[in-house]
Structure 1
């Protein structure tokens, strides 16, 4: 019995060691110990800042990158549930002053997705990621008082490789979505279906290209091929609620991937699990906040795809900013939600606002 138990512990350590070793780790935010002057432990409620980027192929590495999606992952102290809360990328906010050593920013107002870009100005690579995420986290704290224990950057282009290894992703398409990026002509050739032009009002005008039918995703359970999954989570121009619908689809995509990675088909196949962990490591950059990744994995073992809830901000619709009509603001209920995240009372808040849970 002792020998069997010992083998089990060795196997666990090997798997955890490989999983944690395959993930790219960098300093993205000030560690929690420095922020709050206390010893960091895995106990208690946790907030993780997830930031999605979707850089263009061949983009100049020194060029400013705006965050494509901003998600707060809140985990209550019970560690038996998790909540994904998106901050609309066009939310008008106060960005605090910041100096990354290369460029200084005097502080001002902008859309929140500009915080990452401003923070990393004049830098590339690790520095760009570190300063960009730091200023984004500072901006969220400045406006709503929410602080973070860890952070991660998700490269949506890189995540296509995760879906490649999984052989596609199974998810529910909750509304008909037409692609503005991929279409097909009568001969089956892949072509761009629309010409996109700035309409002068902060939006995009779509001009259909004759003879090209856009790739369309129908309502219902779908098995999306890797290229389809990436295309699907990028769409917003043809959707009635624009970025809100895209936020929801990105949350659903992350949840679907999470469930598929934790399925027995992956966890019981060492070769497949190794490949999945490898490509996840290439597609994510993680700051564990001074807590070992093995501690994170162990503490969150009770969270599955079923109790990872995706939450709608602004009830899933555009809420105009009174300061800048071309931008957005957060409605009173969403402000209360962020206050609940700050005060670690999200579970009771959600019991009274079940309508905010995306189906």
Structure 2
């Protein structure tokens, strides 16, 4: 669990505010990478104290050397006291900001578990239609209900007396509590919520992302030119974008559209796998651009996120998690596919449930034995 501690200290770069500004801007990118299932931290070589120059006398002679200014004591990195293991809840929400009162729905619910050494991680998703017990939530006047996981975000976002102003932060709170109850993970050390529009903009700002398409996917939502297909008579009409199998470079709307499709071989579970693959590819893209050394690019990425991002750090700042997870790299993130199946009585579909093997993985993860369990159950590991 994350420990306590401050982030204060003197500026060590020699220029007022420079180090703090760089770190904080880079830390915002960390949040995007947290959503991408990993972590990013700025290069920390901003310089340090220097000796004072020798003073010249009026005659031009060099006067005795002035004693060097003592270098300031090293400032502890933000988050230096954060220790593993860590559990992060990453949420992609479907919001329609143009519709007053539209409640956010959790379309992607992912958990990133980082090991004690903070250099290895496991990323897995829970089905949006997973049948769970959503607990009572006084802030939203919600009495509790056994229903699909995706509804926890929307039910929790309701603010009594402000029906047209749903709260994403409040919705995340109920979702996190619901996921915690289901998985047995007692606490999420940090979490982040990103709207689909924010994800779209992030990918475009990074110049697109290269992804291995593991099966032919036909879009229900987009035409080949990116236009939204028309919803008419209960169904979509018009030409459809098709993603052919193979390695492809996708722009923002394509990446998001591909990762959202669930009417494919494998259904919603294939969609979860595609989301995980996309997230890992995005981590690699961010890390490969060495953004810490390019302030202009950092600014572009931060602007792309705009108001589409909500971060919850339980009292800790974004920058703290950024530094704490700076050693985590894409190749150290294991994607885990948790199989499940439909749940219902008779001909009525109620939602999804995980298999006993999937539930056992979560138990072993909590106990710190994920690596051993996956070694015995290699089919759970997503290879690409």
Interval of TM-score (by shorter of Structure 1 and Structure 2): 0.7 to 0.9
Quick one: which of 195, 198, 204 aligns to 1:164?
204
CA-to-aligned-CA distance 1:224-270 (integer Å, 9 cap, x gap): 12221222122122x12221111111112221111111114644433
Structure 2 partner of 1:230: 256
Query: Are 1:178 and 2:203 counterparts?
Result: no
Closer/same/farther in 2, CA of residues 24 and 250 from structure 1, 3 Å limit: closer
Question: Please, which runs of 5 or more residues in structure 2 have no aligned partner?
Answer: 1-11, 33-79
Determine the C-alpha separation between the residues in 2 that align with 1:308 and 1:24.
16
Q: Match of 2:7?
A: none
1:1-359 matches, within 5 Å, as 13-20=20-27, 41-56=81-96, 58-60=98-100, 62-100=101-139, 103-122=140-159, 123=162, 128-146=167-185, 147-183=187-223, 190=227, 192=229, 197=234, 209=237, 212-237=238-263, 239-264=264-289, 266-280=291-305, 282-314=307-339, 318-321=340-343, 325-359=349-383
Alpha-carbon displacement from aligned partner over 1:274-302 (angstroms, at most 9, x marks no partner):
21133235432111222332321222111
For residues 165 and 353 of structure 1, do their structure 2 counterparts lie closer, same or farther at Cα, with a shift above 3 Å needed? same
Change in Cα spacing, 1:290 to 1:191, as seen in structure 2 (3 Å) is: closer
How far is the alpha carbon of 1:11 from its aligned partner? Answer: 6.1
Tell me the SS of whatever aligns to 2:342: coil
Q: Distance in 2 between matches of 1:43 and 1:196?
A: 54
Deviation at 1:131, TM superposition (A): 2.1
SS at match of 2:350: coil
SS in 2 for 1:175: coil
Residues 163 and 191 of structure 1, relative CA distance in 2, 3 Å threshold: closer
What secondary structure is seen at the aligned counterpart in 2 of 1:72?
A: strand
- State the distance in 1 between where 2:28 and 2:207 align: 24
Kindly tell me: are residues 54 and 345 of structure 1, through their superposed partners in 2, closer, same or farther at Cα, counting changes over 3 Å?
same
Equivalent pair of 1:22/1:278 in contact (CA under 8 Å): no
| Distance in 2, Cα, partners of 1:135 & 1:93 | 12
- Number of equivalences: 320
Structure 1 residues 43 and 196 mapped into 2: Cα distance closer, same or farther (>3 Å)? farther
Q: Give the alignment's TM-score, normalised by structure 1.
A: 0.79
Over aligned residue pairs, what C-alpha RMSD do you find? 3.1
The residue number in structure 1 matching 2:9 is none
Q: TM-score, normalised by structure 2?
A: 0.74
Please state which structure has a larger fraction of its residues in helix.
1
Looking at structure 2, the residues matched to 251 and 16 of structure 1 have their Cα atoms a distance apart, in angstroms, of 27
1:105-158 Cα deviation digits (max 9, x unpaired): 222210111111111223579972222111112212222311311111011211
Structure 2 counterpart SS, 1:134: helix
Greater radius of gyration (CA): 2
Q: Residues 56 and 215 from structure 1, CA distance in 2 versus in 1: closer, same or farther, beyond 3 angstroms?
A: same
Q: CA deviation at 1:189?
A: 9.7
8 A Cα contact 1:193 1:214, kept in partner: no
Q: Judge conservation of contact 1:23–1:277 (CA < 8 Å) in 2.
A: no
